[in-house]
Chains A and B, each alone.
Chain A
């Protein structure tokens, strides 16, 4: 799917995908083109299996680029939240220590979530873990945040907190996310980038 969105005049994009074709053993997505400017929120939108996660992986260096290009601004700092569960296996980490790994801002955590800082990760629900994961990536000192289904397993109140957090950080960061929650994406005012199945 060729979905070209040229940059605005005088704008220096953080990220530029130019006819990107990406995959693992074989191509699974592309060609896809779009740019992402500082402070922008964009959402990859498409059916299951269209390769949205592969696009994020290609940007983050976890998928093979078969054609086209991914151009990152020099010195671009990126965080990437993956949609799969954390590889816990009873690792004795508490919430505060998890956030410290990405140098995330634990002090700015919403008050309702602050009790999670003292608790062991293995004692948290899937939704609570997901929230901490997303927070760790959103508030890390980076320029671009990649979020893969940040609202999975998260209750409506926490979804609202995730949305608030994304809006709060957009002044300093660009966000590229995948979500099947159309209401969530529209509430963020995100630009939609359509990804179609090959």
Chain B
């Protein structure tokens, strides 16, 4: 990974692995993790469309997922149905473009197989800039997102408008997933958002610690997957996804083992 040939893709993926789980924590808080897969699929479709029309692929991915984020306010009324529709629409459009535009075939494989090793400096600088913007915005958004979820009446009574914060966060998620999809592929991007946060929710003893756990699990799985995929000459995306699935299985098994060795748990004293 420190070979100059692979350093750029490694650094790009490392940024993805560090940043996306943090966004995933807030998506899970809002029970909107399916939106992540919808944005990733749309980003893939947008990238392919951009390639076919001779435009920068990152712009295409960011554009289509960004439009979906802006229109999400309408989608929220339909709950997960809306996200599922976006997901299958993005997938369907992508496959049709691949079938009818052979020139996009190479990009299509990169998007769906997750060929991190073919990313370049544009991906790295885009992801680095996004990481800086996301870190700054989430410092401001974090308390508002948590407050709106845990104390919705307090939030509303204080005259705070959830629409503005939701839109900003949704645009951030859409941007992050578009950039991640362009680097590590659709399903790997979704897995990085979903699985580390699932583990963090099981093991975290506070919100801060849970964010740290999610990021560390993601980074560890990423580094291992990067090395395995490189040494064994395997497509990176599936190796990362399976590494995360194994991490989740291990975490769940360890939690179960600890619970069993601790003995019966008293019933929760809740009415």
Q: Which residues of A contact B (CB under 8 A)?
A: 57, 59-62, 77-82, 86-87, 89-94, 96-98, 100-102, 120, 123, 125-127, 133, 136-137, 140, 142, 146, 153
The answer on a CB contact under 8 Å between B154 and A137 is yes
The 3 A-B pairs of least Cβ separation, nearest first, read: A60-B157, A92-B204, A80-B153
> Across the interface, do B149 and A87 meet the contact criterion of CB distance under 8 Å?
yes
Q: Which residues of A contact B151 (CB under 8 A)?
A: 80, 101-102, 133, 136-137
Known: A93-B150, A102-B154; 7 extra A-B contacts, CB below 8 A, are A79-B154, A81-B154, A92-B207, A93-B146, A97-B146, A97-B206, A125-B268
User: Is B201 close to A, CB under 8 A?
Assistant: yes
A146 touches B205 (CB 8 A): no
A78 x B29 contact (CB < 8 A): no
Question: Does B147 belong to the interface (CB within 8 Å)?
Answer: yes
Question: Is residue B270 within 8 Å, beta carbon to beta carbon, of the partner chain?
Answer: yes
Task: Determine the chain B residues whose CB is within 8 A of the CB of A136 once the complex forms.
Answer: 151, 154
CB distance from A136 to the nearest CB of B (A): 7
Cβ–Cβ contact A125 & B269, under 8 A: yes
Q: A130 CB to closest chain B CB, in angstroms?
A: 10
| Of listed B151, B208, B210, B269, residue having the most chain A CB within 10 A | B151
Q: How far is the CA of A125 from the CA of B205 in the complex (A)?
A: 17
Give the interface residue-count category, chain B.
20 to 34
Q: What's the dominant secondary structure at chain A's contact region?
A: mixed
Do B153 and A101 touch (CB < 8 A)? no
**Contact A97:B154 (CB < 8 A) given known A92-B200, A102-B147:** no
CA distance A58 to B187 in the complex (A): 45
B262 to chain A, nearest CB (A): 14
Roughly how many angstroms separate A133 CA and B2 CA in the complex, as a whole number?
50
With the chains together, A98 CA to B156 CA distance in Å?
Answer: 17
A86-B29 Cα distance, complex, nearest whole Å: 13
Most buried by B among A59, A92, A96, A97: A92
For residue B134, give the distance in angstroms from its CB to the closest CB of chain A: 21
Contact partner of A94 among B150, B200, B205, CB < 8 A? B205
- Residue B271 CB within 8 A of the other chain: yes
**Residues on the A chain within 8 Å of B29, using CB:** 91
Q: Known contacts A101-B146, A126-B270; is A94 also within 8 Å of B206 by CB?
A: yes
Residues of B contacting A60 in the complex (Cβ-Cβ under 8 angstroms): 153, 156-157
